[in-house]
Amino acid sequence: MTFLSQPIPEPATPLRLAWLDVARGVAVLAMFVYHFAWDLQYFALTSVDVVGEPGWRWFARAIAGSFLGIVGFSLVLAHANGLRRGPFLRRLAVIAGAAALVTAGTYVAMPQGTIWFGILHCIALSSVLGLAFLRLPALVLLAFAAAALAAPLFATADVFNHPAAYWIGLGTIEPRTNDYVPILPWFGCVLIGMAVGKIWLASERKNPSRPAALPAAAGPVAFLGRHSLPIYLVHQPVLVGLLYLFVTLSGGGAQLAETREFRQGCRAQCEATGGDIAACRRFCACAETGLKREGVWTAVTGNTADPAAQARIQGVVAMCSRQVPGQPADPPPAP
């Protein structure tokens, strides 16, 4: 176990591994899948609650954790022989600038869901914090990683609910934003990546391996990994633009506006009666699906429900209140 507890002599030159580009490329492809599903929900082309449904939430977390783990691994490799100040500062400036661009863009396009501290913000700050851990042995890095991952389970407090403290991740409520990746617990993924990088370097020192050529099929995936930042910045505007064009040309604009109005009204009523943001999203997604299944969606959105329709509506509300934990004692009325 000495490779877990001793500082590791590093190679003289920074390394770039083809399989690391492939791993990052796979994360990019997974990101495409998640964002496309999110966009389908945003444009009311599906009733699936991509943000609130547990499977999709864990999928999103796995993607974010993969990117951050690769950040930690790459940090160890890039500065294996000491901090390369110039390249580090240039990379940090690019990522921080991209994060600021995401904040500005979402503030203009989606002011209610502005991204104040998303994945790029977390990568930028984690890269700086990671420098303080760069010379620690792998075992110590894993201990700090465990502490970071566990912190939100034991150290939350109302004082961290102030917007100025959102980046820490120890608040008792979830901020309203379209991407939230606070330092805690997510810096733990970076530290795990750094520990794995230390272990890999130690193994390479003992038994150097020859770089293997990538299979031809992996080339496009590696390309995505090598250009992950510009692809990240461009892919969502492209997807949103294409779906907006589809909705417009198919005549679904009125339906989109109708569905958005329902979702916003439902969530606002739910939160006003004491539900938390995540539970209200799940409740309203359940209600939307149930109302459509019961054939009373038009009656609700058009405010034309007769007594029979009202009974079915209340049945859907009661069913969703039972299925979704975290709801207020008195379920919100159907919008």
| pLDDT profile of the chain (335 residues), mean per 10 | 39 62 95 94 81 88 97 93 90 96 92 91 97 95 97 93 93 88 97 96 78 76 93 93 86 72 81 75 82 81 79 84 63 50
Indicate the residue among 220, 243, 266 that finishes a domain. Answer: 243
Report if residue 33 sits inside a domain.
yes
Angle formed by the axes of helices 138-154 and 183-206, to 10°? 160
Report if residue 285 sits inside a domain.
yes
CA torsion 76-80-86-90 (nearest 10°) is -20
Residues 177, 262 within the same domain:
no
Residues 184, 258 within the same domain:
no
Residues 196, 296 within the same domain:
no
Name the amino acid, one letter, at 114: T
Query: In this structure, are residues 99 and 121 in contact, taking their beta carbons and an 8 Å threshold?
Result: yes
Report if residue 328 sits inside a domain.
no
Distance CA 141, CA 314 (A): 53
Residues 48, 120 within the same domain:
yes
Supply the range of the domain harboring residue 52: 2-243
Residues 315, 285 within the same domain:
yes
- What is the domain count for the chain? 2
Report if residue 333 sits inside a domain.
no
Which pLDDT score is estimated for 299?
A: 79
Report if residue 329 sits inside a domain.
no
Which pLDDT score is estimated for 209?
A: 67
Which pLDDT score is estimated for 244?
A: 86
Residues 195, 287 within the same domain:
no
Distance CA 280, CA 270 (A): 6
Residues 219, 266 within the same domain:
no
Q: Which residue, 144, 114, 120, is CA-closest to 130?
A: 144
Report if residue 173 sits inside a domain.
yes
Indicate the residue among 223, 243, 263 that finishes a domain. Answer: 243
Which pLDDT score is estimated for 11?
A: 44
Residues 78, 195 within the same domain:
yes
Angle formed by the axes of helices 18-42 and 219-226, to 10°? 80
Residues 141, 272 within the same domain:
no
Indicate the residue among 224, 243, 262 that finishes a domain. Answer: 243
Residues 134, 172 within the same domain:
yes
DSSP 95: H
Q: Which residue, 132, 131, 139, 121, is CA-closest to 178?
A: 121
Report if residue 272 sits inside a domain.
yes
Report if residue 276 sits inside a domain.
yes
Helix runs in the chain, H state only: 2-5, 18-42, 54-78, 85-109, 119-131, 138-154, 183-206, 219-226, 228-249, 253-272, 277-293, 297-301, 307-323
Distance CA 266, CA 278 (A): 13
> Coil, strand or helix: which one is 285?
helix
Residues 137, 265 within the same domain:
no
Residues 185, 265 within the same domain:
no
